[in-house]
Structure 1
Amino acid sequence: FSPITHNPPDTIEAIGASILFKNNQHIDFTSIYIPRANCETEEIEAMLDRSNPYLLGGDFNGHHPLWESNATVNKAGKSVYEALINDQDACLITPPNLGTRLDPVSGKASTIDLTITAASIATSAKITLRSYMGSDHLPIIITLNASVKHYTSRPIAWAINEEKWPAWNKRLEELLKSQNFSEITDPATATTVFTDGFEASNEQFFRRTIPSCRATHKGPARPWLDEECKTAVKEARRAFREWRDSPISPTKREEWRKAEARKRRTIITAKKNVWSTFIANLGPNDQPKMWAFVRNMVGNRSDASATGQALKSGGHTFQTPQEKADLFLDRFSSTMDVSVPSSTDISLGYPGDGLTDELDVQCYVPWTSSDNPNVATYDIKMFCISRESNPDFFGGNRVRYQHATMDIHEWSFQEISQSNV
């Protein structure tokens, strides 16, 4: 595909791409949004003026009886209607009263998301309204009688056969010797000779991969998504579909709201349970396992800033980096046995705008070492992390002490236990 450069007026927002199909015909796809419903007829006509067959769709915020019965015509609706009348090649394929948007308050359906195509592709186009996916605008699926011409930029690779590896090395060595490779002084010539020998040896012993073969991409793992959660999600979707079929029914709307609330409670409970189970089974060498689990739980909705997520403890909310560091220090120090005659200086550096000073504090850190084997060792579980930041990038406060280094960023403590050894 190739991007389409639009220069719409201030009243219209548009983005598009031209896609090549198997019949070597381009179709121009444009997504449009008219936020204030105040566009002019000429502006819509300019968007429809394409040399290729086109599909123009989006939120026009326009009302007109042509696509919505008993609608009160507004400026955007009038402009779209007149542009369709003036352009003989433009076809509105949105069925009347499709109901693309449901008002969250009243439940009233309106048709403000329109799809306009060129006449050459309008006859085979099919438009389908799908189920609720979290927005007041319902998804619209448009099917065209066309097949995309796929191109791949994936380079050709070699499928290595380990059993043939010794023979491959021997053949490459023979080819290089036959060209007196060790005596070549010109870098360009040496590169050419080595590359030719490499390719010849590959051709003899290995096979090429098929560029069109692509790896299968699975969806993100959700450790908390058990059967109970799946059932709650299905019930919420079913309740929404029933309310959508009867949007003026207050009973069905209330049933949908209750189903959504049950779904949220079920998912939250499942996440808490899976956290507790996972944390209880962590060991001292399970850092890779822990971060993989955190990535699956957090997903892509990460906020890497030091103040990305507030921490709550004892009915209080801790938002700033300094407050969070103090909270950690308080929780960490409370598990230490102050009677143990061993201490270590700890420096806490607070990240943030202009906070460059360090705060020196004293904290007793029991630790078993070779020079003092009688000191008690504490198993401090701090793998119980719940945060909206990317665990792959350590940042934030840094605690330095004699035997280990620990990075702290957006921590939420759930369990800190100790056991004497």
Structure 2
Amino acid sequence: MGDFNAHLDFWKPVLPRSRRNRSGTSLSSFLADSNSLFLLTHPGLPTRIDPVSGNPSTLDLYLGNGPLLLTTITTGPYMGSDHLLVIIDFPSVPPPSPTSRRPRWSFKKGDQVSFQTELKSINPPTTLPSVDKIHFLTEVLVTVGSHHFHLVTSSPSSSFRIPWWSQKCAAALQAKRHAFAEW
């Protein structure tokens, strides 16, 4: 982001041809040739108010790529400068809700040998792109797995997996709780 002082009708559509400058054409050429950077400021967003004439102009430009392409850029209230406050809003993605039950394979009653035999009998296509090979493998494993094993669901473990926790710690905690209850 920056105050490029680059004048071009691409980001200020009402700009007369005579007001374009070399900074504007250079920046426009750079962006046209770039495969990784894009102009995030939408055309016509006034970022500076001329203190003499009161005319708005778009001088503060924002460039970015990847996740930044999802941002929304607006201007805020007048704060005493000839440049307006620029607000960049990053979209919030809600965290996925934790599942109370997650599927997993139960191998207790299954037959590992027949599972492997059926897998070996499948001839995978050799001409698929890598992404399709991954989907094919996933589908085969799930389908063949369902022939030989049961898919069960269980609640996530409520006990904490702490490396240093031992039976001795559990016994001490139980004794503490018992002592507190007696008190």
Under a length normalisation based on structure 2, what TM-score does the superposition of the two structures give? 0.46
